[in-house]
Structure 1
Amino acid sequence: MGRSSQEQAIQNRANIVEAASRLFRQHGVDHVSVADIMGSLGMTTGGFYKHFTSKDALVAEAFALAFRQSAASWRKVSQQNGAGAIVHHYFRKRPAEQNCPILAFAPHVETENAAGQCVQAYTRGAETLFAQFLDHMKPAADGTTDPQAGQDAEILFAAMVGARLLADATGDSEWAKSVEGAVQGAVSRLR
Structure 2
Amino acid sequence: MGRSSVEQALQNRARIVEEASRLFRERGVEAVSVSDIMAAAGMTVGGFYKHFASKEVLVREACALSFEQAAQVWQKLTSDRPEAGAIVEHYFRERPAHQTCPVLAFAPHVSAADTAHPAREAYSRGVEALLSGFLSQIGTSEHSEIPEEAQILFAAMIGAQLLAQASDNADWATALQQAVSRRARKQTHADERTSA
- Corresponding residue for residue 39 of structure 2: 39
Mapped to 1, the partners of 2:167 and 2:45 lie a distance apart of: 36
Task: Specify the code of the residue in structure 1 equivalent to 2:130.
Answer: L
TM-score (norm 2): 0.90
Output one character per residue of 1:109-128: Cα deviation in whole Å (capped at 9) or x when no partner. Answer: 11145752111111111111
Q: Report the Cα offset of residue 171 of structure 1.
A: 4.4
Q: 1:172 to 1:92 in 2, by over 3 A?
A: farther
Secondary structure of 1:120 counterpart: helix
Q: Report the Cα offset of residue 189 of structure 1.
A: 1.2
- Corresponding residue for residue 129 of structure 1: 130
Output one character per residue of 1:93-151: Cα deviation in whole Å (capped at 9) or x when no partner. Answer: 110000000001111011145752111111111111112211222338xxx83312x12
Secondary structure of 1:8 counterpart: helix
Mapped to 2, the partners of 1:4 and 1:60 lie a distance apart of: 27
Task: Specify the code of the residue in structure 2 equivalent to 1:147.
Answer: E
Q: How many residues align?
A: 187
Q: Percent identity?
A: 53
Q: Any runs of at least 4 consecutive aligned residues in structure 1 with deviations exceeding 4 A, and if so which?
A: none
Output one character per residue of 1:60-100: Cα deviation in whole Å (capped at 9) or x when no partner. Answer: 00000000000000001111111520111100111000000
Question: In the alignment, is the contact (CA less than 8 A) between 1:17 and 1:58 conserved in 2?
Answer: yes
1:137-148 equivalences in 2 (<5 Å)? 137-139=138-140, 145-148=143-146
Mapped to 1, the partners of 2:137 and 2:143 lie a distance apart of: 11
Secondary structure of 1:49 counterpart: helix
- Corresponding residue for residue 153 of structure 1: 150
Question: In the alignment, is the contact (CA less than 8 A) between 2:71 and 2:130 conserved in 1?
Answer: yes
Question: In the alignment, is the contact (CA less than 8 A) between 1:78 and 1:84 conserved in 2?
Answer: no
- Corresponding residue for residue 98 of structure 1: 99
Question: In the alignment, is the contact (CA less than 8 A) between 1:56 and 1:115 conserved in 2?
Answer: no
Question: In the alignment, is the contact (CA less than 8 A) between 2:38 and 2:48 conserved in 1?
Answer: yes
1:169 aligns with 2:170: no
Mapped to 1, the partners of 2:164 and 2:48 lie a distance apart of: 36
1:7-18 equivalences in 2 (<5 Å)? 7-18=7-18
Question: In the alignment, is the contact (CA less than 8 A) between 2:140 and 2:150 conserved in 1?
Answer: no
- Unpaired segments ≥5 residues, structure 2: 189-196
1:180 aligns with 2:177: yes
Q: Which moved more, 1:67-76 or 1:82-91?
A: 82-91
1:57-68 equivalences in 2 (<5 Å)? 57-68=57-68
Q: 1:115 to 1:97 in 2, by over 3 A?
A: farther
Q: 1:47 to 1:114 in 2, by over 3 A?
A: farther
Mapped to 2, the partners of 1:36 and 1:125 lie a distance apart of: 25
Q: Report the Cα offset of residue 155 of structure 1.
A: 1.4
Secondary structure of 1:50 counterpart: helix
Question: In the alignment, is the contact (CA less than 8 A) between 2:17 and 2:61 conserved in 1?
Answer: yes
